[in-house]
Structure 1
Amino acid sequence: METTAAPARAELVQRVTELLPTLRKNALWGEENRRLSDETIEALTASGILKMRVPHRYGGYESDMRSVVDVVSQLGRGDGATSWTVAVWMISAWMAGMFPDEVQDEIFATPDVRISGILSPSALAVPADGGVVLNGKWSFNTGAQQSHWNTNAAVLAQPDGTHVPIMVAIPISDLAVVDDWHTSGLRGSGSITTIAENLFVPQARVLHMGPVLQGQHQSVANAASVIYRAPFMSTACTTVGAVSLGMALAGREAFLDRLPGRKITYTDYANQGEAPVTHLQVAEATVKVDEARFHAFGAAEMLDTKAVADEPWTIEERARIRLALGATTQRAKEAVDILNAASGGSSIYHDVPIQRIFRDVQTLNLHAIMNPSTNLELYGRIICGLEPNTLYI
């Protein structure tokens, strides 16, 4: 098996910077076709970015979380849907490394394998000889049509009539696909629905979710890896938080790109950039972007520091990561809202990026894990001495 030295963070960010013209060029195509373009996927693959959370022994980089946040947020400057899809692929590739080594060998045998995943347990598994039989569906399955494997959640029926959550690894070819991704935002992510119908899954490809959420895994080969010393939710939340930051950066750039020479209709301002209201809007949005950056990279720093030191996580620390995710997502939306409102009537055309960024960041704020209010409540409960009201922490 191949082992590849991980590129430095600066090199990875430079690779993304070189991709931005391609991502921006293909963003409208992705919106119209509801998936990433082949050219975009080929460019992402060639850059090596999709290897960042793949184990070393399969040619991966095992990049730290600060590098992940740097890269994913920079991708968001080019296209939010691309950034979101890559974030999901990174999380799911990392998740695959929690399965037994023989399962990893099967998954990563595909060159440049892409793995999507769903954490909501919306399918039922019943025990069978040598494994389980799955029935159910997973909606919002980002990039599934352009992936090779799924790491999905389900509930496993127990003899006493109860159910326990599990994770399963499934080849996409074993699932039916429903092309139902007709949405107002993140259209290019292709987050369609997949369905399992009486699908047998071998026992080796079944993990109980409880240990997974605690960062415990069944891999012997990955036991010493630093990136597998972190809780699942904290890792996933920090990864997707970077998408929000990227959209905030994209919104600011898109606004400033259109600013020179734009007038404010029905006023005496022949140049919008000369109006004091514009100065206030740009400055306020910049503060929001900086706040989003603070929370996104703060979470990454916490993950990396504790992983290197191999320190245990408290419930409050896990909730703090969820809090940072909500804050990043909220501040990003606030920044884009300001700039979108300042962009004028001509910004509603599909070929003007700010309207797409506005819809994409709104979509992120509606995501159940990323919703700011949910994350505020969770942290507040714990600080006030209550137990968390969710397993996803």
Structure 2
Amino acid sequence: MNSIQVPEHSKSASADPTDASGLVAYARSLVPVLKARGKETAALGRLPEQTLADLDAGHLLGMTIPRRYGGGQVSVRTFLDVVAEIGRGDASVAWVTALTNVTNWCAATFFGEEAAKEVFCGDKPARVVGVLSPRKAVVKKVEGGYLIEEGVWGFNSGVYHATWDMLGIPLVDEQGKVIDQGGALIPIEQVTILNDWNVIGICGSGSSSVSVTNVFVPDSRIASISKAIQGDYQSTHLVGESLYQVASMPMLAIILTFPALGLGIAALETFLETLPRRGIQYSWYGKQSEAPVTHLVVGEASAKLDAARVILEKHAEDLDASAASGVYMDYLQRARIRRDVGYAETLIWQAVDMLASASGGSLAAVNNPMTKIWQDARVASLHGIVNPSLNFETYGRLLCGLEAGSPFI
């Protein structure tokens, strides 16, 4: 299948990777072409090369890379706005954009200058992806670093386009006792992609499982995840750069809702675009747009989406402000963001489901654009970090004077 081309005028819309408005405008310009490539992307199971080139042309995969290494170093709020725009076009593209950028941010923030130069100053573009929780990881402490004897990690989104992989491993002492949880930066050439991504939604994200066998990782490319959660970052060379002082778990959590927000907006836009052509079977209404039940659905769904957007924009701005203050965000506020991430995700899914259900029997058609949006939104809502029940319970435990029951806050 021939890839659809982006108009030349769009490719120059974001020549400056640090220009927030330009990045958002460029992302918006991609929406029609991403929609048009949707079937190709889903069938391929990863991003088409032309889509990857379009993202690179607009600097959309380098938004969180430090400026000193040629990146955009944008605010969390700009990150949200850009990914939500892409999500209006294709959730898979938005998912890869969100996950690549947040892991680029991890590589810049959790690790020291030596690792940063290795990752961001190489011959290939820096595209870091990652998985923090291994399905299996057998690790040995050796001189100068760690040997990953064998390991398997699932849902490694964007890995087909990556140049580095940040994989979670147990950190052990010389006797093999686990003393911490860590992240290891590994060149993608040392990672085996297992090609097992076969799903009903966000099909083009290429979130395959990966494995590693007998790979040495030097200490310079090892970070303590537990320290990172507390804001004890190795990136002392970036002190004073507020993006790299953002609280880690809220950052890792909130970005998962950015593609979902774009999906919700796309669902409402798609419903309203097709509404004039639809009736309501087995009713007196010749036009669905004239039925009060339709007005109720649109009113409630749009309210849910607006509420989700307000929640996410507020917390994105809070993360930016807290980082700029130089004081690491306090524990309860970090937990509140995780709670609200779950709530915003719930609102978005409910809105999409309402609009899809109101589309009637046509939702059963594979070629109905609302069907793909509905499937993508359902899959997006299943990520463990955005699980509302777990996030509500965690915050409720804290308000009741108990420990959170989770280290990921």
Partners of 2:200 and 2:269 in 1: CA distance: 22
Partners of 2:259 and 2:390 in 1: CA distance: 18
What's the RMSD between the two structures over aligned residues?
1.5
Residue number among 52, 55, 67 corresponding to 2:66 in the alignment: 55
Q: Contact 1:285–1:334 (CA<8 Å) still a contact in 2?
A: yes
Structure 2 partner of 1:157: 172
Question: Aligned to 2:238, what secondary structure does the other structure show?
Answer: coil
Structure 1: state its 5+ residue gaps.
Answer: none
Quote the offset at 1:332 in angstroms.
Answer: 0.4
Amino acid at match of 1:118: V
Quote the offset at 1:298 in angstroms.
Answer: 1.4
Partners of 1:313 and 1:31 in 2: CA distance: 39
Partners of 1:6 and 1:182 in 2: CA distance: 34
Partners of 2:19 and 2:218 in 1: CA distance: 38
Residue number among 364, 373, 391 corresponding to 1:375 in the alignment: 391
CA deviation profile, 1:203-243 (whole Å, cap 9, x unmatched): 21111111111232222321221111122111111222212
1:199-214 residue pairs with structure 2 within 5 A? 199-214=215-230
CA deviation profile, 1:97-141 (whole Å, cap 9, x unmatched): 131212111111144321111121442321012211112111000
Partners of 1:370 and 1:136 in 2: CA distance: 25
CA deviation profile, 1:143-165 (whole Å, cap 9, x unmatched): 10111111111112233733420
Q: Contact 1:180–1:193 (CA<8 Å) still a contact in 2?
A: yes
Q: Contact 1:121–1:165 (CA<8 Å) still a contact in 2?
A: no
Partners of 1:232 and 1:219 in 2: CA distance: 13
Partners of 2:140 and 2:176 in 1: CA distance: 13
Structure 1 segments of 4+ aligned residues over 3 angstroms from their partners: 4-8
Quote the offset at 1:340 in angstroms.
Answer: 0.4
Residue number among 110, 124, 132 corresponding to 2:146 in the alignment: 132
Quote the offset at 1:349 in angstroms.
Answer: 2.3
Structure 1 partner of 2:11: none
Question: Aligned to 1:35, what secondary structure does the other structure show?
Answer: coil
Change (3 A) 1:36 1:6: closer
Structure 2 partner of 1:169: 185
Partners of 2:260 and 2:202 in 1: CA distance: 12
Structure 1 partner of 2:368: 352
Question: Aligned to 1:369, what secondary structure does the other structure show?
Answer: helix
Partners of 1:10 and 1:347 in 2: CA distance: 36
Question: Aligned to 1:7, what secondary structure does the other structure show?
Answer: coil
| 2:258 paired with 1:247 | no
TM, length-normalised to structure 1? 0.96
TM, length-normalised to structure 2? 0.92
Residue number among 22, 26, 37 corresponding to 1:26 in the alignment: 37
Partners of 1:286 and 1:177 in 2: CA distance: 40
| 2:23 paired with 1:8 | no
Amino acid at match of 1:223: V
Structure 2: state its 5+ residue gaps.
Answer: 1-14
Q: Count how many residue pairs are aligned between Structure 1 and Structure 2.
A: 390
| 2:97 paired with 1:86 | yes
| Percentage of matched positions with identical amino acids | 35
Partners of 1:177 and 1:313 in 2: CA distance: 36
Structure 2 partner of 1:339: 355
